[in-house]
Structure 1
Amino acid sequence: MVTQVRHPIWLPAVKQAGARTFATLYALESFTRATIASVVPIQAYELLQNKQGVSLLYTLVALIGLSATLFMPMLISRFSRRWIYTTGVVLLALGSLLFMTHSLPGQMLGMLARVMGASALAITLNLYIMDHIRKTEIMQAESLRMAWSMMAWTGGPTLGVFLYTHYGIVATHAVVLAFATALLITFWYFRLGDNPLISPGKTRAANPLKNIGRFVSQPRLRLAWVIAFGRSCFWTTFFVYGPILMVVTGEGELAGGLLVSAGNALLFAAISWGRAGRRFGARNVMAFAFLAMSAALFAAGLGGENLPLMTGGFLLLGALFAVALDALGSTAFMRAVRTYERPQMTAVYRTYLDFSELLPPLVYSVVLSFFGLGAVFCTLGVFTVFCGLLTWRYLPKSM
């Protein structure tokens, strides 16, 4: 009949996923994680009242988190990416709810939920990026993604510690819940993988366990992993032991948050380091950055707990050189990985992050049994010297 008209249902138009889509998601995710980046180690220290205990706690959590990372692609292939991504956001929110209990079991489970959530988000987002961004545009997209996250990692740690010291634990983690909610709403608004306007992804998530042997058999991939592992070890040490240094020396929790925020603010130097890499060669700049970082770490180790402000200053100097490795380090992997192996090798390559959260606290727990916090920075300095020499010796001059 003429009167039986079926009117169209108008839905908001969603553009094809692009660089801004993933930059937006990553920025919101960064706010969700960065806000309590300095609060989590401070909470752990308040509960344990022992620096060695904090190291052992981080080691245990990282060990379990590594297992989750290795098996994440299997879960993605079984349950689809959008649900794994959603679960990752929910885990970040659940972690903050557990932190609110301010108990040792809640702290451990909260840290574990946070690690597993970050792993789920990182792997699924990388798969989305590889499916929707052309290879020739990945570098530009990644630069945009990092740029949009700078504000979160610069202001987030200080904001979190300020809320924690002035308004308490509930207010701090309530902000995380708000960012997590915004992230989840934004993700489903983009309808990645569901919206018919967006072509389904073509990359199948593989089990990283089947690709470890292939990764290890390629020397340049091994070197790229060591470079990434070395710089990530610095950031893990900086984020965890920088705030603890400020607390145990009486400088205060807010000073710890300001230290981490100042270190993250140096990410703005990434553009300058990129230009230096193009002019002098990535190999030369990365080797120099490792060795200069080592010198700063040794100086921080000498200052130790006796001169906390000087120690913090040298840690910030080390962070400046770590930014150079952030800007150039991934080049070693991207130029070495074969195109047809990129998804599989990327899954294995990302384990550098889990190992950097697992091994340093384990080593530091032994070091702290005999020495003070200054020895932690000296220990890391020895390893970064090794990374610098390895980079200079084996990274191709054409880099």
Structure 2
Amino acid sequence: MWTLGLSYAVSTFARCLPISIIPTIALGRLGDPGLVSALYMGTSCLSLAAGIALPRLLPRIGLAGTLIACALLGISCWLTFLIPGLVSLFAGLTLYVLMVLFFENASNMAVLGLIPRRDHKAYESRRVMLAAPSYMLGPVIGTAMQDHGLVALVFASMAACTCLAPVLVAISAGTTERLARMRHPSHKGFALRNFLASARLRAAWILAIGRAMWCQMLFVYTPLLAVSLGVDLVQAGILISLSSGLLLGAPLWEGLTRKLGLRRFMALAYTICGLFACVAGFLAQHSFGLFAAAMFASAVSVSAIDSVANTPVLRAVRARDAARMIPVYNTFREAAQVFPAGAYAVLLIFFDLQYIFVATGLGLVGIAWFCRLLPRRA
């Protein structure tokens, strides 16, 4: 269990190392922040399409093939970003997005194939805890290396991690033959239609979108709010770092989850998270300190949500259906970038920036209603 969790931490580190320097590379080549946003929007739409298409591919190549694809995508991304020009920029970002998508699918397929269903909750909380240092240190290390002119080394390190993570999965499986046998047969029917037919899968996807929306609100709109209020960006950075650091406490929620049950625990966590986000939005006009306190309280509830992580979808998917259903589920990250971004753009036409937090908070409270579709037991 721990080795498999470590493989996820390594793949997360591979994702986070270049995550803060890719936008600066794009800005340097495109010269316009608006074009950078359009580039990211385009790759998010491409990733959404890939998430719908992967159910036809992954059952054929199985977990072993998916892991090999992760490594190849990481190496290709490294080499592509070293080539100057706009074409290589789009190709490199596309390869990066596909690498992240393949790793997410491989991670969930490995859990369903290697971890007993009764242990999913315990594994997920430990996985999140192991990945926390990657989320916290990856962007810092990447930007520090960029400041020293070591951009090529950033991508080389990313590629090395994408090769190490599959090795750790193989070690967790025990034998490479076991990995090779984890090939899922193709089933008839369109995967998206089958996914939408399951109430529990729909609920898991919507809950994941809500969690991703909260992250977007924290990482994107908190610094923007600080700038609009004339507050030092360092304060926003401290808030973001402290909120991310709460992931280390994910296993501490296990006892409360067992006591309340998965359904009530998640409903309570989403509701409290949303309410504190709303309060943060209203307090922003009075004091950034009060806003930060409310956002940190909201982040505590998010750490409770993270302790459950992918348990709702893992409980709803059979191992033999993982290669078809998991890719559809993993589109939540891209959906949370595409759809809410449009809603936020419209909202900002009529309201101030602080109401992004109010709207997101109300959305999370509404999303808590879907927790009634989850299993009762953790």
Specify the TM-score bucket, using the shorter chain as the normaliser.
0.7 to 0.9
Once the two structures are superposed, the pairs formed by residues 188-337 of structure 1 within 5 Å of their partners are 188=167, 198=178, 200-204=180-184, 206=186, 210-246=190-226, 257-304=237-284, 307-308=287-288, 310-328=290-308, 330-337=310-317
Q: CA deviation at 1:65?
A: 0.7
Structure with the higher helix share, 1 or 2:
2
Once the two structures are superposed, the pairs formed by residues 34-183 of structure 1 within 5 Å of their partners are 34-40=16-22, 56-77=38-59, 81-82=63-64, 84-92=66-74, 95=77, 108-164=90-146, 167=147, 170-171=149-150, 174-183=153-162
* Aligned residue pairs, count: 376
Q: In the alignment, is the contact (CA less than 8 A) between 1:224 and 1:333 conserved in 2?
A: yes
**Overall identity of the aligned pairs, in %:** 24
- Cα distance in structure 1, aligned partners of 2:327 and 2:120: 17
The 3-state SS of whatever aligns with 1:203 is coil
Pair 1:248–1:55, CA change in 2 (3 A): farther
**Per-residue deviation, residues 47-95 of structure 1 (Å, max 9, x unmatched):** 7766x77665543321111112222243345556545434434544555
The 3-state SS of whatever aligns with 1:373 is coil
Q: In the alignment, is the contact (CA less than 8 A) between 1:212 and 1:348 conserved in 2?
A: yes
The one-letter code sitting in structure 1 at the alignment partner of 2:300 is L
Q: TM-score, normalised by structure 1?
A: 0.76
In the alignment, is residue 27 of structure 1 matched against residue 9 of structure 2? yes
Q: CA deviation at 1:118?
A: 0.4
Pair 1:21–1:189, CA change in 2 (3 A): closer
Pair 1:172–1:330, CA change in 2 (3 A): same
Aligned to 1:362: 342
- Cα distance in structure 2, aligned partners of 1:69 and 1:58: 16
| Pair member with larger Rg | 1
Pair 1:378–1:396, CA change in 2 (3 A): same
Pair 1:308–1:45, CA change in 2 (3 A): farther
Structure 2: which 5+ runs fail to align? none
What RMSD over aligned residues (CA atoms) do the two structures have, in Å? 3.9
Q: In the alignment, is the contact (CA less than 8 A) between 2:104 and 2:330 conserved in 1?
A: no
- Cα distance in structure 1, aligned partners of 2:262 and 2:19: 30
Higher relative contact order (CA 8 A, sep 6+): 2
Pair 1:20–1:208, CA change in 2 (3 A): farther
**Per-residue deviation, residues 103-140 of structure 1 (Å, max 9, x unmatched):** 87666554433221101112123333433344444444
**Per-residue deviation, residues 179-234 of structure 1 (Å, max 9, x unmatched):** 43144156358768996664622331658972222222232332222222211221
The one-letter code sitting in structure 2 at the alignment partner of 1:302 is F
- Cα distance in structure 2, aligned partners of 1:369 and 1:56: 19
- Cα distance in structure 1, aligned partners of 2:116 and 2:21: 38
Q: In the alignment, is the contact (CA less than 8 A) between 2:71 and 2:159 conserved in 1?
A: yes
Q: In the alignment, is the contact (CA less than 8 A) between 2:124 and 2:307 conserved in 1?
A: no
**Per-residue deviation, residues 327-365 of structure 1 (Å, max 9, x unmatched):** 236443344445654553333332323322322222223
The one-letter code sitting in structure 2 at the alignment partner of 1:178 is S
Q: In the alignment, is the contact (CA less than 8 A) between 2:47 and 2:98 conserved in 1?
A: yes
The 3-state SS of whatever aligns with 1:368 is helix
The one-letter code sitting in structure 2 at the alignment partner of 1:148 is L
Segment drifting more, 320-329 vs 154-163 = 154-163
